[in-house]
Amino acid sequence: MQYRTLGRTGIRVSPYALGALMFATPIGNPDPDDSARIIHKALDAGINLIDTADAYGDSEEVVGKALKGRRDNVVLATKVSRSMGDDPNQQGASRRWIVTAVENSLRRLQTGHIDLYQIHRPDPGTDIEETLSALSDLIHSEKVRAIGTSTMPASDIIEAQWVAERRGLARFHTEQPPYSLLNRGIEREVLPVAQRYGVGTLVWGPFGQGLLTGRVRKDQQNELRRAGFFKHLNDERRLDTVEQFLSLAEEAGLSPTHLAMAFTIAHPGVTSAIAGLRTMSHLDDLLAGIDVALTDDILDRIDEIVPPGTDIGTLDQDYVPPALQQANLRRRPVSERTAGGRYREGPAGPGGQVSRS
């Protein structure tokens, strides 16, 4: 295993990381003992980074139990900020929630410290200085070794770095964005910014939510959708692109999963790719391709199918900034929409009322 340095932390991690979402019994592997066997085999193979989150059901408990006796050999990462209940304060990146959530994660993971504590999604309602201040205190108390983010826009990464420098706070050491053969948008800004600031990058979704594994073909989409699986199978262009990659993998003599994983770790800005596995056979397939390196010819073919910096469709769990979700953040008040600042009569609205524009 060729280990890589995680940003500028000095921590050495494997280029393939084990994602623990599917170890949660309600949504993934229903047998915690089987998940433990998967974790142990991955560690035996040299994979030393495990990534989970407080919002992944009972994943932290499953991982914590599996790591008994092996904790010192693992770079353990978890996350905070996704909703953990009906209480509006049991979410986000406020100091109030972070100091509570970290204690809960430590208890579930049965450990005295977390190697990498990440903000699961950006929290626009909390000042970044407030978040960094709380995380800095966790580092000083030795409950956390390094801190990071997930799906943070490039501009926010830069702002956080500046705030940390100016306020003398711990800076984010890592970013965890989506990245795959289908979703290359982070090549435009996120990866170059991460490289510029020495931020390690742990990418998620390398299999395109299962589409790039070869287990789902375009002619099966209707059957799978009727069964309630793969809600994202509604983008014809995305499905057509998958078929091109499956053909490329066959021509190159590679399995689709090996092509997908090898592509993600080929970028110099990527530290590790997180593979979310559910079964031992999934792990065996991953390990079989751990030494695969793509040639320039194959990478050129990939660029022809999906140009660098391009996204073909979106991932279900990707971050959508508030400005794209809330209409009031991209529309001036009605009274300010004309060049002269005057109301302009519009067509009659419901009930015969005249709308203003």
Rounded to two decimals, what is the model's pTM? 0.89
pLDDT over 70 percentage in the chain: 89
Give the separation between CA 247 and CA 238, rounded to whole angstroms: 15
Six-digit token string for 275: 């593979």
Q: Supply the pLDDT for residue 261.
A: 98
User: Of 197, 175, 200, nearest to 4 (Cα)?
Assistant: 200
Strand pairing partners for 174? 148, 200
Question: What tokens were used for 2?
Answer: 């060729």
What is the topology classification, in CATH, of domain 4-318? Answer: TIM Barrel (3.20.20)
Write the DSSP symbol of residue 311.
B
The more confidently predicted of residues 221 and 325 is 325
**Which residues are identified as catalytic?**
56
Give 173's contacts (C-beta < 8 A, 6+ positions apart): 6, 7, 8, 9, 116, 146, 147, 148, 199, 200
How far is residue 231's CA from residue 61's CA, in Å, rounded to a whole number? 28
Per residue in 151-186, pLDDT (tens digit) is 999 999 999 999 999 999 999 999 999 999 999 999
Confidence of residue 106 (pLDDT cuts 50, 70, 90): very high
Distance from C-alpha of 150 to C-alpha of 122, rounded to nearest angstrom = 7
pLDDT at 341 over 80: no
Q: At 10, is the pLDDT very low, low, confident or very high (cuts 50, 70, 90)?
A: very high
- 330 has pLDDT over 90: no
Give the 3-state secondary structure of residue 317: coil
Domain-wise residue ranges, the chain: 4-318, 326-357
- Name the pLDDT band for 230 (thresholds 50, 70, 90): low
Helical H segments across 68-127, by residue range? 95-109
> What is the structure's pLDDT at 193?
98
Per-residue pLDDT tens digits for 17-54: 999 999 999 999 999 999 999 999 999 999 999 999 99
- For the cut 90, the answer to whether the pLDDT of residue 329 exceeds it is no
